[in-house]
Copies of this chain bind each other. A is one copy, B any other.
Amino acid sequence: MKNKSDFIPSGGITSPGGFLAGAASAGIKYKNHPDLGILFSETACAAAAVFSTNKIKAAPVILSEKRLQDGKARAVVINSGCANSCTGGRGMKDAVAMAEMTAEHVGVAADDVLVASTGVIGTMLPMDSIGRGIAEIKLTTEGGHELARAIMTTDTVPKEVAVRADGFTIGGMAKGSGMIHPNLATMLCFLTTDANVEAGFLKEALKEAVDTSLNMVSIDGDDSTNDMVLIMANGKAGGESVIAGSRQAEVFQEALNKACIQLARALARDGEGATRLIEVNVKGAASLADARLAARTIVGSSLVKAAVHGSDPNWGRIIAAAGRSGAELEESKLYLEIGGICLVKGGAPVSYNKEKVVKHLDGDEVNIVLNLNMGNAGAMAWGCDLSEEYVTINSEYTT
Protein backbone atom coordinates (compact mmCIF):
# COMPACT_ATOMS: atom_id res chain seq x y z
CA MET A 1 0.00 0.00 0.00
CA LYS A 2 1.41 3.35 -1.03
CA ASN A 3 1.89 6.00 1.63
CA LYS A 4 -1.33 7.98 1.68
CA SER A 5 -0.50 10.38 4.50
CA ASP A 6 2.37 12.51 5.80
CA PHE A 7 3.35 13.88 9.17
CA ILE A 8 2.93 17.62 9.70
CA PRO A 9 6.06 18.92 11.44
CA SER A 10 5.23 20.51 14.82
CA GLY A 11 1.59 19.59 14.35
CA GLY A 12 -0.77 18.65 17.15
CA ILE A 13 -4.29 18.38 18.44
CA THR A 14 -5.37 21.74 16.99
CA SER A 15 -3.90 21.12 13.52
CA PRO A 16 -7.24 19.92 12.07
CA GLY A 17 -9.64 22.75 11.22
CA GLY A 18 -12.17 23.94 13.79
CA PHE A 19 -10.42 22.75 16.96
CA LEU A 20 -9.23 25.10 19.71
CA ALA A 21 -7.40 24.42 22.95
CA GLY A 22 -5.93 26.15 25.97
CA ALA A 23 -4.52 25.50 29.43
CA ALA A 24 -4.01 27.07 32.84
CA SER A 25 -2.07 26.51 36.07
CA ALA A 26 -4.65 25.59 38.72
CA GLY A 27 -2.11 24.51 41.34
CA ILE A 28 -3.62 21.02 41.65
CA LYS A 29 -0.37 19.38 42.67
CA TYR A 30 2.33 21.98 42.05
CA LYS A 31 2.20 25.78 41.92
CA ASN A 32 2.74 27.59 38.60
CA HIS A 33 2.63 24.42 36.54
CA PRO A 34 0.07 23.98 33.73
CA ASP A 35 -2.25 21.21 34.95
CA LEU A 36 -5.67 21.97 33.51
CA GLY A 37 -6.92 22.47 29.96
CA ILE A 38 -9.76 22.31 27.49
CA LEU A 39 -10.02 20.87 23.99
CA PHE A 40 -12.94 22.37 22.07
CA SER A 41 -14.58 22.00 18.67
CA GLU A 42 -16.26 25.04 17.15
CA THR A 43 -18.94 22.82 15.63
CA ALA A 44 -20.74 19.55 16.43
CA CYS A 45 -18.57 16.43 16.45
CA ALA A 46 -18.96 12.71 16.09
CA ALA A 47 -16.99 11.30 19.01
CA ALA A 48 -15.85 7.86 20.19
CA ALA A 49 -13.56 6.57 22.90
CA VAL A 50 -11.86 3.52 24.30
CA PHE A 51 -11.82 3.38 28.10
CA SER A 52 -9.97 1.52 30.83
CA THR A 53 -11.17 -2.04 31.44
CA ASN A 54 -10.04 -1.88 35.06
CA LYS A 55 -12.93 -2.85 37.36
CA ILE A 56 -12.14 0.21 39.42
CA LYS A 57 -13.02 3.17 37.21
CA ALA A 58 -12.37 6.78 38.10
CA ALA A 59 -15.32 9.20 38.21
CA PRO A 60 -14.33 11.05 35.00
CA VAL A 61 -14.17 7.72 33.12
CA ILE A 62 -17.66 6.70 34.27
CA LEU A 63 -19.06 10.13 33.43
CA SER A 64 -17.43 10.41 29.99
CA GLU A 65 -18.42 6.87 29.02
CA LYS A 66 -22.04 7.73 29.81
CA ARG A 67 -21.96 11.03 27.92
CA LEU A 68 -20.47 9.40 24.84
CA GLN A 69 -23.34 6.97 24.43
CA ASP A 70 -24.92 9.36 21.91
CA GLY A 71 -21.67 9.41 19.85
CA LYS A 72 -21.32 13.17 20.22
CA ALA A 73 -19.14 15.64 22.13
CA ARG A 74 -18.03 19.25 21.81
CA ALA A 75 -15.36 19.64 24.45
CA VAL A 76 -13.22 17.80 26.97
CA VAL A 77 -11.73 19.23 30.15
CA ILE A 78 -8.55 17.54 31.33
CA ASN A 79 -6.48 17.83 34.49
CA SER A 80 -3.25 16.31 35.74
CA GLY A 81 -2.07 16.00 39.37
CA CYS A 82 -5.18 14.22 40.67
CA ALA A 83 -6.88 11.16 39.17
CA ASN A 84 -10.24 11.70 40.91
CA SER A 85 -10.29 7.91 41.37
CA CYS A 86 -11.48 5.99 44.44
CA THR A 87 -13.18 9.19 45.50
CA GLY A 88 -16.75 7.89 45.86
CA GLY A 89 -19.85 10.07 45.50
CA ARG A 90 -17.99 13.30 46.05
CA GLY A 91 -15.60 12.42 43.21
CA MET A 92 -18.51 11.99 40.81
CA LYS A 93 -20.04 15.30 41.90
CA ASP A 94 -16.71 16.99 41.30
CA ALA A 95 -16.41 15.51 37.79
CA VAL A 96 -19.93 16.68 36.95
CA ALA A 97 -19.13 20.14 38.30
CA MET A 98 -15.90 20.33 36.23
CA ALA A 99 -17.94 19.59 33.11
CA GLU A 100 -20.57 22.18 34.05
CA MET A 101 -18.04 24.95 34.63
CA THR A 102 -16.39 24.07 31.32
CA ALA A 103 -19.74 24.04 29.47
CA GLU A 104 -20.47 27.49 30.79
CA HIS A 105 -17.00 28.80 29.93
CA VAL A 106 -17.11 27.57 26.31
CA GLY A 107 -20.84 28.01 25.76
CA VAL A 108 -22.11 24.50 25.04
CA ALA A 109 -24.45 22.08 26.82
CA ALA A 110 -22.93 20.27 29.82
CA ASP A 111 -23.92 16.93 28.25
CA ASP A 112 -21.49 17.62 25.42
CA VAL A 113 -18.51 18.06 27.75
CA LEU A 114 -16.30 15.09 28.68
CA VAL A 115 -13.83 14.91 31.58
CA ALA A 116 -10.43 13.23 31.88
CA SER A 117 -8.11 13.18 34.90
CA THR A 118 -4.68 11.75 35.68
CA GLY A 119 -2.55 11.78 38.79
CA VAL A 120 -2.67 10.42 42.32
CA ILE A 121 -5.53 8.07 43.26
CA GLY A 122 -7.68 8.61 46.34
CA THR A 123 -7.35 12.36 46.77
CA MET A 124 -10.11 14.87 46.07
CA LEU A 125 -9.91 17.56 43.39
CA PRO A 126 -9.39 21.10 44.76
CA MET A 127 -12.61 22.37 43.17
CA ASP A 128 -12.07 26.07 43.96
CA SER A 129 -8.75 26.04 42.14
CA ILE A 130 -10.27 24.05 39.28
CA GLY A 131 -13.04 26.65 38.94
CA ARG A 132 -10.57 29.55 38.90
CA GLY A 133 -8.40 27.65 36.40
CA ILE A 134 -11.23 26.92 33.97
CA ALA A 135 -12.28 30.59 33.99
CA GLU A 136 -8.73 31.58 32.98
CA ILE A 137 -8.40 29.29 29.98
CA LYS A 138 -8.16 31.00 26.61
CA LEU A 139 -8.91 28.81 23.60
CA THR A 140 -6.81 29.33 20.47
CA THR A 141 -5.89 27.41 17.32
CA GLU A 142 -2.33 27.22 18.65
CA GLY A 143 -3.40 26.03 22.11
CA GLY A 144 -2.80 22.34 21.37
CA HIS A 145 0.88 22.59 22.34
CA GLU A 146 0.03 24.23 25.67
CA LEU A 147 -2.61 21.57 26.38
CA ALA A 148 -0.21 18.74 25.53
CA ARG A 149 2.09 20.10 28.28
CA ALA A 150 -0.70 20.52 30.82
CA ILE A 151 -1.67 16.82 30.74
CA MET A 152 1.87 15.58 31.51
CA THR A 153 2.62 13.83 34.83
CA THR A 154 6.01 12.08 34.97
CA ASP A 155 6.34 12.56 31.20
CA THR A 156 9.50 14.45 30.34
CA VAL A 157 8.30 15.72 26.95
CA PRO A 158 4.87 16.39 25.45
CA LYS A 159 3.71 13.86 22.84
CA GLU A 160 2.03 15.40 19.82
CA VAL A 161 1.33 14.34 16.28
CA ALA A 162 -0.47 15.52 13.17
CA VAL A 163 -0.99 13.67 9.92
CA ARG A 164 -2.18 15.20 6.64
CA ALA A 165 -3.97 12.89 4.23
CA ASP A 166 -5.90 13.52 1.04
CA GLY A 167 -8.69 15.84 2.06
CA PHE A 168 -8.39 15.86 5.83
CA THR A 169 -6.06 16.17 8.84
CA ILE A 170 -5.72 14.14 12.03
CA GLY A 171 -4.17 15.62 15.19
CA GLY A 172 -3.29 13.97 18.46
CA MET A 173 -1.62 14.21 21.83
CA ALA A 174 -0.95 11.71 24.61
CA LYS A 175 0.52 11.35 28.07
CA GLY A 176 1.79 8.16 29.54
CA SER A 177 4.95 7.15 31.28
CA GLY A 178 5.34 4.41 33.87
CA MET A 179 6.24 2.04 31.07
CA ILE A 180 7.84 -0.75 32.95
CA HIS A 181 4.99 -3.16 32.40
CA PRO A 182 1.23 -3.36 31.93
CA ASN A 183 0.49 -1.48 35.07
CA LEU A 184 -1.07 1.47 36.72
CA ALA A 185 0.25 4.59 35.05
CA THR A 186 -2.55 6.39 33.29
CA MET A 187 -2.50 6.69 29.53
CA LEU A 188 -4.55 9.52 28.10
CA CYS A 189 -4.75 10.12 24.38
CA PHE A 190 -6.83 12.64 22.48
CA LEU A 191 -7.31 12.69 18.73
CA THR A 192 -9.06 15.21 16.52
CA THR A 193 -9.92 15.23 12.85
CA ASP A 194 -11.71 17.51 10.43
CA ALA A 195 -12.67 14.49 8.31
CA ASN A 196 -16.39 13.91 7.99
CA VAL A 197 -16.47 10.56 9.73
CA GLU A 198 -19.71 8.74 10.54
CA ALA A 199 -19.97 7.99 14.28
CA GLY A 200 -20.24 4.20 13.95
CA PHE A 201 -17.21 3.88 11.73
CA LEU A 202 -15.28 6.34 13.91
CA LYS A 203 -15.66 3.95 16.84
CA GLU A 204 -14.53 0.93 14.82
CA ALA A 205 -11.58 2.80 13.33
CA LEU A 206 -10.44 3.99 16.76
CA LYS A 207 -10.60 0.47 18.19
CA GLU A 208 -8.54 -0.87 15.28
CA ALA A 209 -5.94 1.91 15.57
CA VAL A 210 -5.58 1.51 19.33
CA ASP A 211 -5.15 -2.28 19.03
CA THR A 212 -2.17 -1.88 16.69
CA SER A 213 -0.57 1.05 18.50
CA LEU A 214 -1.30 2.14 22.07
CA ASN A 215 -2.30 -1.36 23.17
CA MET A 216 1.08 -2.59 21.91
CA VAL A 217 3.05 -0.33 24.21
CA SER A 218 4.33 -2.17 27.24
CA ILE A 219 2.09 -0.06 29.42
CA ASP A 220 -1.26 -1.55 28.64
CA GLY A 221 -3.95 1.01 27.96
CA ASP A 222 -6.46 -1.27 29.66
CA ASP A 223 -4.97 -1.17 33.06
CA SER A 224 -5.19 2.11 34.92
CA THR A 225 -8.40 3.36 36.51
CA ASN A 226 -8.32 6.48 34.30
CA ASP A 227 -7.22 5.41 30.80
CA MET A 228 -9.03 7.03 27.92
CA VAL A 229 -8.44 7.39 24.20
CA LEU A 230 -10.85 9.88 22.68
CA ILE A 231 -11.41 10.94 19.08
CA MET A 232 -13.53 13.85 17.90
CA ALA A 233 -14.43 14.36 14.23
CA ASN A 234 -16.05 17.66 13.27
CA GLY A 235 -16.31 17.21 9.48
CA LYS A 236 -14.94 20.73 8.81
CA ALA A 237 -12.93 19.43 5.86
CA GLY A 238 -16.22 18.57 4.15
CA GLY A 239 -16.70 15.77 1.64
CA GLU A 240 -18.90 12.73 1.77
CA SER A 241 -19.46 10.97 5.06
CA VAL A 242 -16.69 8.42 5.70
CA ILE A 243 -18.44 5.13 6.37
CA ALA A 244 -17.24 1.55 6.89
CA GLY A 245 -16.18 -0.16 3.67
CA SER A 246 -15.76 3.05 1.66
CA ARG A 247 -12.57 3.95 -0.21
CA GLN A 248 -12.06 6.94 2.07
CA ALA A 249 -12.48 4.72 5.16
CA GLU A 250 -9.29 2.92 4.19
CA VAL A 251 -7.42 6.20 3.78
CA PHE A 252 -8.71 7.40 7.13
CA GLN A 253 -7.77 4.17 8.90
CA GLU A 254 -4.26 4.27 7.49
CA ALA A 255 -3.76 7.88 8.63
CA LEU A 256 -5.26 7.20 12.06
CA ASN A 257 -3.03 4.14 12.59
CA LYS A 258 -0.04 6.23 11.57
CA ALA A 259 -0.87 8.96 14.08
CA CYS A 260 -1.51 6.45 16.87
CA ILE A 261 1.68 4.45 16.20
CA GLN A 262 3.67 7.68 16.32
CA LEU A 263 2.15 8.51 19.71
CA ALA A 264 2.70 4.93 20.91
CA ARG A 265 6.40 5.16 20.02
CA ALA A 266 6.66 8.54 21.75
CA LEU A 267 5.01 7.11 24.89
CA ALA A 268 7.37 4.14 24.94
CA ARG A 269 10.44 6.30 24.37
CA ASP A 270 9.48 8.49 27.30
CA GLY A 271 8.79 5.65 29.75
CA GLU A 272 9.80 6.51 33.29
CA GLY A 273 13.58 6.51 33.50
CA ALA A 274 13.83 5.31 29.89
CA THR A 275 17.04 5.80 27.96
CA ARG A 276 16.07 3.79 24.86
CA LEU A 277 13.05 2.90 22.74
CA ILE A 278 12.65 -0.85 22.22
CA GLU A 279 10.74 -2.03 19.17
CA VAL A 280 9.82 -5.71 19.01
CA ASN A 281 8.68 -7.11 15.69
CA VAL A 282 7.22 -10.62 15.86
CA LYS A 283 6.84 -12.32 12.50
CA GLY A 284 5.64 -15.70 11.30
CA ALA A 285 3.09 -16.21 14.07
CA ALA A 286 0.22 -18.66 13.63
CA SER A 287 -2.32 -15.88 14.34
CA LEU A 288 -2.48 -12.14 14.92
CA ALA A 289 -3.41 -12.80 18.56
CA ASP A 290 -0.27 -14.94 18.96
CA ALA A 291 1.92 -12.31 17.32
CA ARG A 292 0.58 -9.60 19.62
CA LEU A 293 0.91 -11.80 22.70
CA ALA A 294 4.53 -12.66 21.96
CA ALA A 295 5.52 -9.09 21.04
CA ARG A 296 3.89 -7.63 24.14
CA THR A 297 5.35 -10.25 26.47
CA ILE A 298 8.87 -9.67 25.17
CA VAL A 299 8.71 -5.88 25.33
CA GLY A 300 7.06 -6.10 28.78
CA SER A 301 9.67 -8.41 30.28
CA SER A 302 11.56 -6.66 33.05
CA LEU A 303 14.57 -8.86 32.42
CA VAL A 304 14.64 -8.02 28.70
CA LYS A 305 14.29 -4.33 29.58
CA ALA A 306 17.09 -4.51 32.15
CA ALA A 307 19.35 -6.39 29.70
CA VAL A 308 18.79 -3.69 27.06
CA HIS A 309 19.58 -1.05 29.67
CA GLY A 310 22.92 -2.75 30.30
CA SER A 311 23.52 -3.26 26.52
CA ASP A 312 23.73 -6.95 27.32
CA PRO A 313 22.90 -9.28 24.39
CA ASN A 314 21.25 -11.76 26.76
CA TRP A 315 19.00 -13.18 24.03
CA GLY A 316 17.87 -16.12 26.17
CA ARG A 317 15.59 -13.71 28.01
CA ILE A 318 13.86 -12.80 24.74
CA ILE A 319 13.35 -16.45 23.75
CA ALA A 320 12.12 -17.38 27.21
CA ALA A 321 9.65 -14.47 27.27
CA ALA A 322 8.23 -15.69 23.95
CA GLY A 323 8.07 -19.20 25.39
CA ARG A 324 5.96 -18.16 28.34
CA SER A 325 3.77 -15.74 26.37
CA GLY A 326 1.27 -18.41 25.43
CA ALA A 327 1.89 -17.99 21.69
CA GLU A 328 2.24 -21.20 19.72
CA LEU A 329 5.89 -21.81 18.95
CA GLU A 330 8.53 -24.48 18.51
CA GLU A 331 12.03 -23.92 19.78
CA SER A 332 13.61 -25.46 16.68
CA LYS A 333 11.92 -22.92 14.38
CA LEU A 334 12.90 -19.70 16.17
CA TYR A 335 14.89 -17.02 14.35
CA LEU A 336 16.08 -13.96 16.28
CA GLU A 337 17.71 -10.71 15.17
CA ILE A 338 18.86 -7.75 17.24
CA GLY A 339 19.64 -4.63 15.24
CA GLY A 340 19.57 -6.64 12.01
CA ILE A 341 22.13 -9.15 13.28
CA CYS A 342 21.07 -12.79 13.56
CA LEU A 343 21.72 -14.39 16.97
CA VAL A 344 19.50 -17.48 16.84
CA LYS A 345 18.55 -19.60 13.83
CA GLY A 346 16.51 -22.81 13.94
CA GLY A 347 16.32 -22.34 17.71
CA ALA A 348 20.09 -22.63 18.16
CA PRO A 349 22.62 -19.89 18.92
CA VAL A 350 24.76 -18.85 15.96
CA SER A 351 28.08 -17.06 16.23
CA TYR A 352 27.64 -13.31 15.78
CA ASN A 353 29.55 -10.07 16.06
CA LYS A 354 28.97 -9.26 19.72
CA GLU A 355 30.58 -5.84 19.46
CA LYS A 356 28.10 -4.81 16.76
CA VAL A 357 25.10 -5.99 18.77
CA VAL A 358 26.33 -4.17 21.89
CA LYS A 359 26.79 -1.03 19.80
CA HIS A 360 23.20 -1.33 18.57
CA LEU A 361 21.96 -1.86 22.15
CA ASP A 362 23.89 1.26 23.17
CA GLY A 363 21.91 3.30 20.67
CA ASP A 364 18.76 5.34 20.96
CA GLU A 365 16.43 2.72 19.49
CA VAL A 366 16.72 -1.04 19.83
CA ASN A 367 15.15 -3.32 17.21
CA ILE A 368 14.34 -6.92 18.03
CA VAL A 369 12.92 -9.22 15.33
CA LEU A 370 11.65 -12.67 16.30
CA ASN A 371 10.37 -14.94 13.55
CA LEU A 372 8.36 -17.86 14.94
CA ASN A 373 8.12 -19.51 11.48
CA MET A 374 4.71 -20.92 12.35
CA GLY A 375 2.50 -18.87 10.00
CA ASN A 376 2.08 -15.45 8.40
CA ALA A 377 0.86 -13.15 11.17
CA GLY A 378 2.95 -10.33 12.57
CA ALA A 379 2.78 -7.57 15.16
CA MET A 380 4.93 -4.79 16.55
CA ALA A 381 5.20 -3.70 20.17
CA TRP A 382 7.06 -0.83 21.80
CA GLY A 383 8.63 -0.35 25.19
CA CYS A 384 11.65 1.08 26.90
CA ASP A 385 14.58 -0.12 28.95
CA LEU A 386 14.39 -0.47 32.71
CA SER A 387 16.72 1.88 34.52
CA GLU A 388 17.53 2.57 38.14
CA GLU A 389 15.76 5.88 37.69
CA TYR A 390 12.39 4.14 37.14
CA VAL A 391 12.57 2.83 40.66
CA THR A 392 13.55 6.18 42.10
CA ILE A 393 10.65 7.91 40.34
CA ASN A 394 8.11 5.35 41.49
CA SER A 395 9.15 5.12 45.08
CA GLU A 396 8.71 8.85 45.54
CA TYR A 397 5.52 9.54 43.64
CA THR A 398 2.96 10.69 46.21
CA THR A 399 5.26 11.89 48.93
Q: Hey, which bits of chain A sit against chain B, CB under 8 A?
A: 53-56, 83, 85-88, 120-123, 178, 180-185, 222-225, 301-303, 306-307, 309-310, 312-317, 319-324, 328-329, 331-332, 344, 347-349, 386-388, 390-399
Copies per complex? Answer: 2
Contact A391 B398 (CB under 8 A): no
In the complex the two chains form, is B392's CB within 8 Å of A388's CB?
yes
Kindly report which residue of chain B lies nearest to residue A185, judged by CB atoms: B303
A398 nearest in chain B by CB position: B314
**A-B CB proximity, top 5 nearest:** A121-B316, A310-B395, A56-B323, A306-B394, A388-B388
CB distance from A327 to the nearest CB of B (A): 8
- A347 and B307: CB pair below 8 A? no
Closest chain-B Cβ to A223's Cβ sits at a distance in Å of 5
Asked if A55 contacts B347 (CB within 8 A), the reply is: no
Contacts of A324 in B (CB 8 A): 53-55, 182, 184, 222-224
Which residue of the partner chain B has the closest CB to A124? B349
Known: A182-B324, A183-B302, A184-B320. 20 other contacts (CB 8 A): A55-B323, A55-B331, A56-B329, A86-B316, A120-B314, A121-B316, A121-B319, A184-B316, A222-B324, A223-B320, A224-B324, A225-B320, A225-B323, A302-B394, A306-B394, A306-B395, A307-B398, A310-B399, A388-B388, A388-B392
Of B88, B120, B387, B393, the residue contacting A347 (CB under 8 A) is B88
Instruction: For the complex formed, measure the closest distance between the CB of A340 and the CB atoms of chain B, giving whole angstroms.
Output: 19
CB distance from A290 to the nearest CB of B (A): 11
Contact A312 B122 (CB under 8 A): no
Assembly CA distance A393 to B396 (angstroms): 21
- Is the Cβ of B395 less than 8 Å from the Cβ of A317? no
Which of these, B83, B332, B347, contacts A316 with CB under 8 Å?
Answer: B83
- CB contacts (< 8 Å) of A328 on chain B: these are 55
Residues of B close to A303: CB separation below 8 A: 178, 183-185, 394
Given contacts A185-B303, A303-B184, A347-B86, contact A395 B312 (CB under 8 A): yes
B180 touches A322 (CB 8 A): no
The CA of A386 and the CA of B394, in the complex, are separated in Å by: 9
* Chain B residues in 8 Å Cβ range of A395: 306-307, 309-310, 312, 386
A391 and B387 contact, CB distance less than 8 A: yes
A320 touches B399 (CB 8 A): no
A225 to chain B, nearest CB (A): 5
Selected A-B contacts with CB under 8 Å, 24 pairs: A54-B323, A55-B329, A55-B331, A56-B322, A85-B316, A86-B316, A86-B344, A87-B348, A121-B314, A121-B317, A122-B315, A122-B316, A122-B349, A178-B303, A181-B302, A184-B324, A224-B320, A224-B324, A225-B323, A310-B396, A312-B395, A312-B398, A314-B397, A390-B391
Residues on B with C-beta less than 8 A from A121 are 314-317, 319-320
Q: Are B349 and A86 in contact (CB under 8 A)?
A: yes
Cross-chain contact of A394 among B54, B55, B307, B396 (Cβ < 8 A): B307
Across the two chains, which residue of chain B brings its CB closest to A314? B398
Pick the contact of A306: B54, B312, B313, B391 (CB < 8 A).
B391
